[in-house]
Amino acid sequence: MTDPLWTERYAPSVGELPQDRLRETLARVREEPVNFILHGPGGAGKTAAVRALAAEVHEDVENDLTVINVADFFGRTKKQIRNDPRFAAFLTGRSRLSKRDMINHVLKESAAYAPVSGSFKTVLLDNAESIREDFQQALRRVMERYAQNTQFVITTRQPSKLIPPIESRCLSIPVRAPTAEEIADRLAWILEREPVAAEPAGLEYIATAAEGDLRRAILSAQTTANQAETITMETAFETLGDVGYDDTVREMFEAAEAGEFVTARKSLDTLLTGEGLDGPEVLRKLLATARECHEGDERALVALYERAGEIDLRLQEGVSARTQLARLLTTMPDG
């Protein structure tokens, strides 16, 4: 797909968010740096809502909104963090810092800089379900120190993973998955502006297949529009198999089985960081791909499922998804 993504071109404003309670709550936190937690399922629009709010409260969004995906830290090595262009400027000459201190330093520096426009800036910790407790304690202290000029926003699928001192310092805002009807309405709104012809049945099919994931639905509609003149039930059905993450998961699986672990880890990073999937989602998709590729080879599947069970348990305990899944990938040639 070479065209700009519709998810970016048609990123919603606060007023266009489909949930009344979410719109009303965000409208109340426009004028001052109120810390808040957005929690809800993947694809519900948590990050989009934060970006929509930032676009309204910051004149210079590029400089006054700092987005830190937790997986960028907790799923990476110290060398990878230092070499990331987003963090390199903060860590130059600090090679002896521990990983924990590197993370704390980046967070403090991000919060300490004065806003370029307005009276405060926003620091977003995205996909925060894997934040370790020791880092949360450090985050609490940073939130207290820079409360006057920095708004901290946390998005997560699992708010129960956050420690009480963090929760007590933030307004809790639930974000439910959009309904199929809300998704279909948003798709129709986008298609009017492209413009692309669409039949209601085609939009309903895409909206239902997305299972509450608005980003996935918009990507599906764009892919269908690129391959067919009109979005109908038939054209949507023909293209939906190509939409989503199946190709990336298969590439990761095949690279791991071939012993090409660098390639496999790059695909893993795409799924966790680029696509925003959580560890259990990636694990489920990986096992589904394994069943397709090793149908009839029960011995290999049993061995893989045994290892996956151990990984799944660690993921539920909040251990780094990237570390655990990468570990699973390195064992797959033995399956």
> Taking residues 300-320, what's their average pLDDT?
82
Residue 139 has a pLDDT of: 86
User: Global pTM?
Assistant: 0.69
What CATH architecture is 19-174?
3-Layer(aba) Sandwich (3.40)
Fold held by 180-240: Helicase, Ruva Protein; domain 3 (1.10.8)
What percent of the chain has a predicted confidence (pLDDT) above 90? 27
> Taking residues 173-195, what's their average pLDDT?
92
Burial state string for 72-108 with b = 16 or more CB within 10 A and e = fewer than 16 = bbbbbeeeebbeeeebeebbeeeeebeeeebbbebbb
Q: Read off the tokens for 255.
A: 């690279």
Please choose, from the candidates 76, 79, 81, 131, the residue with its C-alpha nearest in 3D space to the C-alpha of residue 106. Answer: 81
Residue 296 has a pLDDT of: 63
Residue 244 has a pLDDT of: 60
Domain with CATH 3.40.50.300 in the chain: 19-174
Residue 155 has a pLDDT of: 93
> Taking residues 252-275, what's their average pLDDT?
86
Domain with CATH 1.10.8.60 in the chain: 180-240
Domain with CATH 1.20.272.10 in the chain: 246-334
Helix (H) or strand (E) run with residue 182 in it:
helix 180-193
Highest CATH level, class, for 246-334: mainly alpha
pLDDT tens sequence across 140-152: 888 888 888 899 9
Residue 1 has a pLDDT of: 44
On average, the pLDDT of the chain sits at 85
pLDDT tens sequence across 26-71: 888 877 778 999 999 887 889 999 999 999 999 999 889 988 877 6
Residue 87 has a pLDDT of: 77
Residue 176 DSSP SS3:
coil
Residue 189 has a pLDDT of: 94
Residue 325 pLDDT more than 70?
A: yes
Residue 15 DSSP SS3:
helix
Helix (H) or strand (E) run with residue 311 in it:
helix 298-316
> Taking residues 154-159, what's their average pLDDT?
89
Residue 198 has a pLDDT of: 94
Contacts (Cβ under 8 Å, ≥6 apart) of 311: 283, 324, 325, 327, 328
Residue 174 pLDDT more than 50?
A: yes
Q: Read off the tokens for 290.
A: 């394994």
Work out the angle at residue 26's Cα, subtended by the Cα atoms of residues 59 and 9, and round it to the nearest 5 degrees.
Answer: 55
Q: Say if residue 195 is preceded by a cis peptide, omega within 30 of 0.
A: yes
Residue 89 pLDDT more than 80?
A: no
Residue 246 pLDDT more than 80?
A: no
